[in-house]
């Protein structure tokens, strides 16, 4: 499915704000078509805004088979993300509508966030800095004080579940910290040697001092961190999730934190975002949670917009790229 070469397509971004909250622009995309931008779109606004648009650009707005059936003019769907959960890929394939994602734009930013979380936990940076601001140090009898154990990372075992681009970037950084890296992936063949040792899923849970998740959310991986798996982990082990919130059974993780078996959960994602007030992790001890910001550096978002523009341009030239639904 393609457009007439002389036509400028009608383009609509349904949830633009998190990608471009005001520090970047859509100029490169605007030059390719008649662009309409909405910061946010509620489910009952999708059809009104997307109707008669030939190119839809979405992030978390969900495009179901039912919605798609009411958008006869749609010829391309572009994601503002790597993940594809927001779109019914099979329905798009049946309609011969390519769905394009944004691969590898945030690799370094997310890898850096893994260590931002890990170091913040290991050294208690913010609680100590806040205590100094509150005058605790000036009133202290000794030249130093600690509010939490100070943990050295060197020599600890970091387990990576998944070994794609982000996990590989984490492995490179881990080497500089002197961490021993073990990894699990169902397909280790052809993966680069970054000093990691590939192990079974059972071994990674039982051996890791720090376990970091870097796998997609699928039927097989949904809630893969459940009560039985948590019980296999070392007492005091640390869990990091910058991937997808649905990888965790959040009640099981909260229970493991409360019992003291899990040492800490350092999380940038939750199963529902924004979370509901009754999410058990929000009040769990030693749960350090950030609001899905690992991807959100200006550099990463700038790359995202650049790749997005390239995806639209490639489609208009009849050579779609980064297509994820088999067309």
CB 161 within 8 A of CB 184: yes
Q: Is the dihedral of CA 221, 227, 228, 231 positive or negative?
A: positive
Which residue, among 183, 188, 210, 217, has the nearest Cα to 81 in the 3D structure? Answer: 217
Q: Is the dihedral of CA 87, 89, 95, 98 positive or negative?
A: positive
- Angle separating helix axes 107-123 and 165-177, nearest 10 degrees: 40
CA 4 to chain centre: 36
- Report the catalytic residues: 244, 273, 292
For residue 103, the SS3 value is coil
For residue 55, the SS3 value is strand
For residue 68, the SS3 value is helix
């Amino acid at each position: 499915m393609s457009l007439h070469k002389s036509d400028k397509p009608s383009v609509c971004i349904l949830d633009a704000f998190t990608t471009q909250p005001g520090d970047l622009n859509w100029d490169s995309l605007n030059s390719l078509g008649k662009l309409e931008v909405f910061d946010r779109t509620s489910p009952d606004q999708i059809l009104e805004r997307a109707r008669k648009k030939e190119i839809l650009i979405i992030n978390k707005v969900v495009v179901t088979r039912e919605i798609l059936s009411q958008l006869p003019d749609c010829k391309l769907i572009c994601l503002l993300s790597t993940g594809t959960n927001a779109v019914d890929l099979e329905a798009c394939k049946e309609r011969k509508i390519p769905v394009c994602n944004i691969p590898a734009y945030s690799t370094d930013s997310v890898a850096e966030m893994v260590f931002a979380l890990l170091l913040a936990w290991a050294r208690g940076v913010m609680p100590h800095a806040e205590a100094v601001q509150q005058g605790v140090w000036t009133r202290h009898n000794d030249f130093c004080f600690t509010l939490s154990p100070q943990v050295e990372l060197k020599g600890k075992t970091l387990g990576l579940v998944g070994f794609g681009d982000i996990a590989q970037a984490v492995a490179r950084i881990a080497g500089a910290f002197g961490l021993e890296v073990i990894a699990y992936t169902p397909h280790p063949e052809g993966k680069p040697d970054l000093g990691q040792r590939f192990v079974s899923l059972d071994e990674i849970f039982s051996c890791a001092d720090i376990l970091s998740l870097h796998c997609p959310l699928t039927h097989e991986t949904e809630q893969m961190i459940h009560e039985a798996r948590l019980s296999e982990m070392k007492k005091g082990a640390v869990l990091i999730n910058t991937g997808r919130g649905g990888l965790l059974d959040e009640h099981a993780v909260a229970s493991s934190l409360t019992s003291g078996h899990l040492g800490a959960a350092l999380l940038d994602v939750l199963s529902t975002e924004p979370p509901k007030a009754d999410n058990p992790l929000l009040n769990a001890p030693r749960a350090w949670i950030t609001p899905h910001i690992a991807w959100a550096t200006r550099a990463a978002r700038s790359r995202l917009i650049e790749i997005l523009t390239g995806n639209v341009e490639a489609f208009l030239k009849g050579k779609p790229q980064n297509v994820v639904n088999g067309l």
